[in-house]
Structure 1
Amino acid sequence: MVLLNVSPMKGVIRFGKRGKLTLRYIGPYEVLQRVKNVSYKFALPPEIERIHPVFHVSILRKFVLDLNKVISEPDMEISKDLFHVEQPIRIMDTQIRKLRNKEIPMVKVLRNRYNMEKCT
């Protein structure tokens, strides 16, 4: 398994990402065969089938699966429009911030998905 180094520039396929926080590597992809000494052919998904499947070694990075770094997905209900609702449980603290001309009431709330240290 290998990651591909990409440079998403204008006029070039952006691999589904836009803006300043673009991807540097995409993948992992399976190596199908070694074409020459320094080039390999990959099994690419249908979303990027317009790209030629043979790549030089210089734009590849070895993908090593480390099971210690795998993050389990949280058990939360996500609606079809990809939103989830966090319910407030209780108010932990209240205070008033004073600016020059106005006062802003601030409330620290404990939500249903967080512990006491992560109150917002």
Structure 2
Amino acid sequence: MRASQSRQKSYADQRQKPLEFVVGDHVFLRVTLTTGVGRAIRARKLSLRYLGPYQILRRIRPIAYKITMLPKLANLHPMFHVSQLRKYVPDPSHVLEAEDVQIRGDLSVEVQPVRVEDSQTKQPQGETVRLVKVI
């Protein structure tokens, strides 16, 4: 029994990487029901598995970190176990530029079409309906 446990421990030790972060690193936060994050944002079948990236404010212990939180997650405690965090590797392609969009008073947006891709005419139940695919 001891030989089997020793072998299992050696396999686990080879695959396990110690995660450590420093203040200022960015991490993703795992969304699970056990951490309370899932309950705060209503975790569903197709919801995100990770939120973030968030910045680490303070290292409490090698296994506990305090991170910055969004206002919508203000009801959660800001300290998390290292198992709930995942390292964020910065990539310039992750930065999205926001377009200058003018929003009307009725919260609608005017979008100019680029070109007409395809046009069809259908006649369901005796009515003539023209379908236009616009890019």
TM bucket (normalised to shorter chain) is 0.5 to 0.7
Where do 5+ consecutive residues of structure 1 fail to align? 111-117
- Find the structure with the greater CA-based Rg: 2
Contact 1:95 1:107 in 2 (8 A): yes
Residues 28, 88 of structure 1: alpha-carbon distance in 2 compared, 3 angstrom cutoff:
closer
Question: In structure 2, what is the equivalent of residue 55 of structure 1?
Answer: 80
Higher strand share: 1
Contact 2:28 2:88 in 1 (8 A): yes
- TM-score, with length taken from structure 1: 0.62
| C-alpha displacement of 1:64 | 2.4
> Does residue 79 in structure 1 map to residue 104 in structure 2?
yes
Where do 5+ consecutive residues of structure 2 fail to align? 1-25
Deviations 1:59-107 (A, max 9, x none): 11112231134232223312355420235688675432355x5455223
> Does residue 106 in structure 1 map to residue 130 in structure 2?
yes
Aligned partner of 1:29: which letter?
Y
Candidates 68, 90, 95, aligned match of 2:120: 95
Question: In structure 2, what is the equivalent of residue 31 of structure 1?
Answer: 56
Residues 81, 4 of structure 1: alpha-carbon distance in 2 compared, 3 angstrom cutoff:
farther
Higher helix share: 2
- TM-score, with length taken from structure 2: 0.57
Aligned partner of 2:132: which letter?
K
Residues 8, 76 of structure 1: alpha-carbon distance in 2 compared, 3 angstrom cutoff:
farther
| C-alpha displacement of 1:39 | 1.6
Identity of aligned residues (%): 36
Contact 1:91 1:109 in 2 (8 A): yes
Number of equivalences: 107
Aligned partner of 1:12: which letter?
R
| C-alpha displacement of 1:12 | 2.3
> Does residue 65 in structure 1 map to residue 95 in structure 2?
no
| C-alpha displacement of 1:20 | 4.7
